[in-house]
Amino acid sequence: MVGWQNLDLLTLVRIQVPEQSNSLTIIIPQVYTFGMNDYAVINLKTDPVLKKRAAKTADKLGVSISAVLNNELRRFTTEQSVIFELPEVPNDATAKQLIESKKLIDKGDYYAFDTNKESLEFLARELE
């Protein structure tokens, strides 16, 4: 025999085993989405620290994380692109040139100008 009872946020299911006095009670949480029939639910896996930071930022701005994610989904579908910001890392050739430039700067082997006009005049002389 199975009996059930609806509570505010739970459904209690009682299963009575025939010929025994024991019964098994299962508690099933209910998710209420009253007025949300036109919405889909997306389960998202993310870093817990990132979730906390996002929740804090959203709260500070007075919006929900759902509003932020919906905005990003709208932008994604409109622009049909996604941007992953990564730290800019120079390629090998540029990295070598930056190291050489740093060495020259450390030795004081560079030109300094007080005005844009001075720098442009220097470049004009160099290109002659």
pLDDT digits (tens, 9 = 90+) for 7-65: 555 555 555 566 666 666 555 555 555 555 667 788 888 899 999 999 999 889 988 88
Whole-model pTM?
0.41
- My answer on whether 25 and 40 are in the same domain is no
Segment 63-71 shows an average pLDDT of 89
- My answer on whether 37 and 81 are in the same domain is yes
- My answer on whether 12 and 47 are in the same domain is no
42, 43, 45, 47: CA torsion to nearest 10: 80
Q: How many distinct structural domains can be found in the chain?
A: 3
Question: Residues 113, 119: contact at Cβ < 8 Å?
Answer: yes
- My answer on whether 16 and 53 are in the same domain is no
* DSSP per position, 23-42: EEEEEEE----TT-TT----
Structure tokens, 121: 């005049």
- My answer on whether 27 and 37 are in the same domain is no
Q: What residues contact residue 76 under an 8 Å CB cut-off, 6+ apart?
A: 82
- My answer on whether 27 and 49 are in the same domain is no
- My answer on whether 39 and 81 are in the same domain is yes
Segment 82-93 shows an average pLDDT of 84
